[in-house]
């Protein structure tokens, strides 16, 4: 699901046309604002903003799928947190002196919302940014050596590839009678854990193949000025930079 979300989604929306630097800066600032704020409402607003941006970019379906996955993860995080914070007034007392306090519940809810609000912007921006554009702008504008930029973008590109490889391995095991449908999380981990070995072998083979192919297409000959496209900073990009900073500042000052 997350892998599918990171696949590039073509389009011609305002967000698609932004300079990759502006997109990344915006997503980082949205992420930072979620971490610096102590307001539940502000976190909720940031999640709604993420969904609105996804709708604007025409990837609402992906955003909702991502949200669903993150809500499940956040629910788990909430449950782990809420039983360990013992400050505040008790609002629920369970056997074995397990208690839920008002402070603990609010803080755990804030952590859960932060996780959702901070994760969505980067995944959203990556799914509307070509990796080639991202690496070119990192090299051409920020001066990062191409090898590092390529490694970063390749790592991002390989996430859906490995997700698909894992799905393929699970399908093959299912066809041989292994049942992954169990609701017991420990049984499920026990079934999936041994699959890490074939996944590792597949991954290493794919990475080696990609490295050879890149070498055979002159990867080591690339220079900083080799990029074909130009990525000028336009008025819209400056507007997005200012908006991103404003949101981050709001994250600090909103009570």
Among 95, 143, 177, 218, binds another protein (CB under 8 A): 218
Neighbours of 61 (CB within 10 A): 13
Distance CA 71, CA 40 (A): 15
183 sits near another protein (criterion: CB under 8 A): no
Residues 111-130, one symbol each (x = binds another protein by CB under 8 A, - = not), give -------------------x
User: Could you tell me if 125 and 53 are in contact, meaning their C-beta atoms sit under 8 angstroms apart?
Assistant: no
Q: Does 232 bind another protein (CB under 8 A)?
A: no
* 212 binds another protein, rule: CB under 8 A: yes
Among the listed residues 134, 136, 147, 143, the one whose alpha carbon sits nearest the alpha carbon of residue 226: 136
Among 151, 187, 226, 246, binds another protein (CB under 8 A): 226
168 binding another protein? (CB under 8 A)? no
Judged by CB under 8 A, does residue 8 bind another protein? yes
Closest CA to 35 of 122, 124, 113: 113
Which residue from 26, 111, 35, 14 is spatially nearest to 70, judged by alpha carbons?
111
> By CB under 8 A, is residue 209 in contact with another protein?
yes
Min dist. Cβ of residue 158 to another protein (A): 10
- Report the chain's C-alpha Rg in angstroms: 22
Q: From CA 75, how far away is CA 64, in angstroms rounded?
A: 16
Which residues are registered as beta bridge partners of 78? Answer: none
Question: In angstroms, how far is CA 71 from the centroid of its own chain?
Answer: 14
For the bound state, the minimum distance from the C-beta of residue 190 to another protein, rounded and expressed in Å, comes to 30
Cα–Cα dist 51/72, whole Å: 17
Which segment (16-24, 64-72, 104-112, 212-220) binds another protein by CB under 8 A? 212-220
Among 45, 56, 219, 243, binds another protein (CB under 8 A): 219
Q: How far is the CB of 128 from another protein (least distance, A)?
A: 12
Q: Which residues bind another protein (CB under 8 A)?
A: 7-10, 130-132, 154, 157, 160-161, 164, 205-206, 208-210, 212-223, 226-228
């Amino acid at each position: 699901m997350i892998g599918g979300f990171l696949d590039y989604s073509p389009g011609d929306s305002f967000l698609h046309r932004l300079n990759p630097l502006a997109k990344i800066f915006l997503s980082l600032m949205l992420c930072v604002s979620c971490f610096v704020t102590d307001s539940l409402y502000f976190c909720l607003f940031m999640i709604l903003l993420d969904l609105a941006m996804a709708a604007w970019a025409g990837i609402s379906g992906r955003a909702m799928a991502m949200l669903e996955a993150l809500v499940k993860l956040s629910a788990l995080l909430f449950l782990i947190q809420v039983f360990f914070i013992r400050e505040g007034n008790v609002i629920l007392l369970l056997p074995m002196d397990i208690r839920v306090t008002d402070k603990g519940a609010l803080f755990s809810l804030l952590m859960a919302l932060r996780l959702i609000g901070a994760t969505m912007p980067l995944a959203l921006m990556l799914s509307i940014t070509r990796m080639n554009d991202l690496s070119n702008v990192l090299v051409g504008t920020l001066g990062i050596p191409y090898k590092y930029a390529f490694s970063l973008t390749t790592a991002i590109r390989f996430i859906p590839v490995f997700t698909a490889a894992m799905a393929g391995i699970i399908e093959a095991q299912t066809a041989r009678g292994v049942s992954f449908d169990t609701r017991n999380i420990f049984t499920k981990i026990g079934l999936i854990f041994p699959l890490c070995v074939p996944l590792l072998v597949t991954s290493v083979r794919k990475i080696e193949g990609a490295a050879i192919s890149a070498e055979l297409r002159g990867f080591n000959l690339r220079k900083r000025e080799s990029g074909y496209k130009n990525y000028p900073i336009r008025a819209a990009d400056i507007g997005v930079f200012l908006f991103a900073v404003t949101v981050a500042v709001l994250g600090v000052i909103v009570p």
